[in-house]
Amino acid sequence: AQKITQTQPGMFVQEKEAVTLDCTYDTSDQSYGLFWYKQPSSGEMIFLIYQGSYDEQNATEGRYSLNFQKARKSANLVISASQLGDSAMYFCAMRGGTSYGKLTFGQGTILTVHP
Amino acid sequence: DAGITQSPRHKVTETGTPVTLRCHQTENHRYMYWYRQDPGHGLRLIHYSYGVKDTDKGEVSDGYSVSRSKTEDFLLTLESATSSQTSVYFCAISESMQNYGYTFGSGTRLTVV
């Protein structure tokens, strides 16, 4: 079974500063994928970034980077230069290697960006 | 054009009534999933499908059933709705087990009174 833990129910950041959202995971699979999704107040799920378990380099997508520490089983999302539009719920999720593509989600972190 | 649509977008129903939510895709993806979203729990998997007529239970399947008679449609049925099934329901699709391209529907907000 897979488990995702997001220990920060809410986070606050000043505009233009960087913020790190924490995510730890647990799995017995050797091959797995880690995801971050953004859910704004409008409710849609927006894919941000993906990291495969065998990827040696941390994934980056524009202002988003995933700090992947395999030995510690952590997959933190780093948002650089925060913008007001980054205010949203953020979910970390995992897909196991033999799980029909099922995603396991964390509880989510609400990020609020202050001007 | 959205590759995945959910209907209805909002529904209010009474306890004990049956309810069916529909997920329709135009991407011809093999894998389809139903999740529910509740505060403090993130999204939890209800049921999933890995092909026509091939479905299986997820983490929170009690009180729900699904059917997939054709590739494009995945139906979620609450046989007898309860207040604990008040939630936001998301459908998602994926082309393969190993890719990272999931597409989510816009969600259905269901209220059971």
Of A43, A45, A102, the CB nearest to B48: A102
Measure the CA dihedral A104/A109/A111/B2, to 10°.
30
A97: confidence class by pLDDT, cuts 50, 70, 90? confident
B62 touches chain A (CB under 8 A): no
Q: What is the Cα–Cα distance from A55 to B43, expressed in whole angstroms?
A: 26
Nearest in space to B45 (alpha carbons), one of A87, A93, A37, A71: A93
pLDDT at B97 over 80: no
Residues B8 and A78: beta-carbon distance below 8 Å: no
Are A101 and B58 a contacting pair at CB < 8 A?
no
CA distance B82 to chain A (A): 23
Instruction: Name residues 9-28 of chain B within 8 A of A (Cβ).
Output: none
Is cis: bond before A115, omega within 30 of 0? no
pLDDT at B99 over 80: no
Please give the share of chain A, as a percent, with pLDDT higher than 90: 90
pLDDT at B2 over 80: no
Identify the pLDDT of residue A111: 98
Which residues from A are below 8 Å from B43, CB to CB? 91, 93, 103, 105
Are B58 and A102 a contacting pair at CB < 8 A?
yes
Of A52, A99, A105, the CB nearest to B43: A105
Q: What's the pLDDT tens digit per position in A33-76?
A: 999 999 999 999 999 999 999 998 999 999 999 999 999 999 99
Dihedral sign for Cα A70, A74, A75, A77, please: negative
Residue type at position A112: T
Identify the pLDDT of residue A101: 87
Nearest in space to A11 (alpha carbons), one of A3, A23, A1, A20: A20
pLDDT at B89 over 60: yes
Are B97 and A100 a contacting pair at CB < 8 A?
yes
Identify the pLDDT of residue B1: 55
Q: What's the pLDDT tens digit per position in B30-81?
A: 999 999 999 889 999 999 999 999 999 999 999 999 999 999 999 999 999 9
